Structure 1
Amino acid sequence: MTRRAYLAEFVMMFLAVTLSFFAENMRQGWSNRAAAREYLQLLADDLHDDVERLDFSIGFKRKKEAQIDEFIALLRSPDRTQSTARIYYLGRLIPVREPFYGSEGAIRQLENTGGLRLLRNHAIIVALNRYIAARAKVYEIQQLRDINSIQYKLAANRVLDAGVLAPLLNTDTNGDMPYGIRPPEGNPPLFSLAAEDINALIYWASNDKGSEEMNRQLMSRLKQEALDLRARILQELS
């Protein structure tokens, strides 16, 4: 084989390897872009579900804040003994929670499979990090609310008769009532009318309301972060 033939064979082999390398890079690039789009679509779907859950939790907290205001007003009223059925009912409703827990599927896939490296849109990555941080703050305040509710329950135990309070919750017989809680018949007496007991219950109920308000405000911010992130994702996918 002549020198020219060797050179031609070498060039052909070099071109074949080079083209194969470029083809593999192109194939990998297409695959990565397809995977990134799939992750983004999953994330957009999860964010849509999160916004719906947030709307429900925010609405629930607004209603809970109004219930606590009414509960405190009734306890402060000199005619409280004429409204004890409502006091018992509200007192039993206050500990009920509707916490928010976001969808984890897409975010976990991105974190566990290294999918984050496939996202090339810096604005989406920044918005995603903001959303994750805001969501963690909501979870933190929800836990704080759980701790505060312990003190509320202890204070309620001194004012509200457990014998009256306990039967109010029955999901079998009260299925037509929110959370299976039904007001008591008549106006059963309070367990204590002592000023210090009433004052303690009012304090911890108002504290509980403060936790609900803080959580609602954080949820509203989280919702805005979710909407912003989803809008960026949909723009990227369009």
Structure 2
Amino acid sequence: MEVHHHSHTARKKWTHYFWEFVMLFLAVFCGFLAEYQLEHKIEKDREKQFIQSLVKDTKKDIEQCDSLYRQNKFSQTLCDSLLTMLSGKEIIINSYPAYKLWGSMIGYYDFIPNDGTIQQLKNSGALRLIKKQEVVSRLMDYNKITETIKIIQSGMNTYLLQQSKKTDLFDAARFSNPNDRSNVPLISSDRKLLSWGYEYISLWKKMLEFLNINIENTKNKGNDLPKSVNKEYHIK
């Protein structure tokens, strides 16, 4: 009769299990590092994209500021001409030039900031992607001044609603006469009425001046932002 003996498997040493653990740990750790590096690269790429977009938006705003500044300066010149007419005696005899000038100089072009990128950064919480604090500070300063311009323009729009009071000064009904459009007479030659018109235009001119001061500030802060970006990120 044959007797079968069970074969015994050699027991593994503890060092074998130790190295298995080390290899498993390294595999998991390397996977974690790879994922971390990938996320870091994605965030860096997004940061760069946001920065480039911000610079483009700002440059467009600066171009807009230059145009609006010139237009407002021209309107201020028209204000001076109208103020001269309102304070003179000629307007009693011939008020049509003043009426025509009033209609052409009251109004302005809105400054509409290209703020899509900054609003996306603020609303989505992506502002944290901008790591350079100097750039963030410049960006917030710039956003603040553009918001200030919006408030100023809102006040100017409210003031413009009073333009209907121009009919308190000029007899616009006469202008509808196709046989005589050479003149739009005053409702009254009362100097108090002319003084009201003078005060209205004077204040409008001051509003244009104040708007231009803030447009100039916007341009200056807008120029500071690309400089800061170029310094911190070497992006032009």
TM-score, normalization by structure 2:
0.86
TM-superposed deviation, 1:95: 2.6
Please give the per-residue CA displacement for 1:101-129, whole angstroms capped at 9, x wherever unaligned: 10121112211232210111111000011
Selected match of 2:134 from 123, 133, 147: 123
**For the residues of structure 1 that align with 2:176 and 2:75, how far apart are their CA atoms?**
20
Selected match of 1:197 from 193, 197, 204: 193
What is aligned with 1:73? 84
Selected match of 1:160 from 160, 163, 170: 170
Are the equivalent residues in 1 in contact too, given 2:175–2:184 (CA < 8 A)? no
| Bigger mean CA deviation after superposition, 36-45 or 105-114 | 105-114
Are the equivalent residues in 2 in contact too, given 1:145–1:211 (CA < 8 A)? yes
TM-superposed deviation, 1:151: 3.4
What is aligned with 1:176? none
> Counterparts in 2 of 1:165-176, with a 5 A limit?
none
**For the residues of structure 1 that align with 2:109 and 2:45, how far apart are their CA atoms?**
37
**For the residues of structure 2 that align with 1:162 and 1:185, how far apart are their CA atoms?**
10
> Counterparts in 2 of 1:126-145, with a 5 A limit?
126-145=137-156
TM-superposed deviation, 1:163: 2.9
- CA gap 1:164/1:42 in 2 versus in 1, 3 angstroms: farther
- CA gap 1:234/1:185 in 2 versus in 1, 3 angstroms: farther
Are the equivalent residues in 2 in contact too, given 1:37–1:237 (CA < 8 A)? no
Please give the per-residue CA displacement for 1:143-182, whole angstroms capped at 9, x wherever unaligned: 121222233442x221122336689xxxxxxxxxxxxxxx
What is aligned with 1:178? none
What is aligned with 1:16? 27
SS in 1 for 2:103: helix
Please give the per-residue CA displacement for 1:72-121, whole angstroms capped at 9, x wherever unaligned: 10111111245533212211123322010101211122112322101111
Which has more radius of gyration? 2
Are the equivalent residues in 1 in contact too, given 2:175–2:181 (CA < 8 A)? no
**For the residues of structure 1 that align with 2:118 and 2:213, how far apart are their CA atoms?**
23
Are the equivalent residues in 1 in contact too, given 2:172–2:184 (CA < 8 A)? no
Unaligned regions of 5+ residues in structure 1, if any? 168-183
TM-score, normalization by structure 1:
0.86
Taking only the aligned residue pairs, the percentage that are identical comes to 22
> Counterparts in 2 of 1:71-110, with a 5 A limit?
71-81=82-92, 83-110=94-121
**For the residues of structure 1 that align with 2:175 and 2:39, how far apart are their CA atoms?**
64
SS in 1 for 2:184: coil
What is aligned with 1:170? none
| Bigger mean CA deviation after superposition, 135-144 or 122-131 | 135-144
Residue 149 (structure 1) aligned with residue 160 (structure 2): yes
The two structures, once aligned, show a CA RMSD in angstroms of 2.0
- CA gap 1:44/1:86 in 2 versus in 1, 3 angstroms: same
**For the residues of structure 2 that align with 1:90 and 1:52, how far apart are their CA atoms?**
28
Letter in 2 for 1:37: K
Unaligned regions of 5+ residues in structure 2, if any? 1-11
Residue 186 (structure 1) aligned with residue 182 (structure 2): yes
What is aligned with 2:6? none
**For the residues of structure 2 that align with 1:83 and 1:37, how far apart are their CA atoms?**
62
Are the equivalent residues in 1 in contact too, given 2:170–2:184 (CA < 8 A)? no
Are the equivalent residues in 1 in contact too, given 2:92–2:189 (CA < 8 A)? no
Give the count of matched residue pairs. Answer: 221
What is aligned with 2:3? none
What is aligned with 1:31? 42
SS in 1 for 2:211: helix
Letter in 2 for 1:13: L
- CA gap 1:98/1:231 in 2 versus in 1, 3 angstroms: same
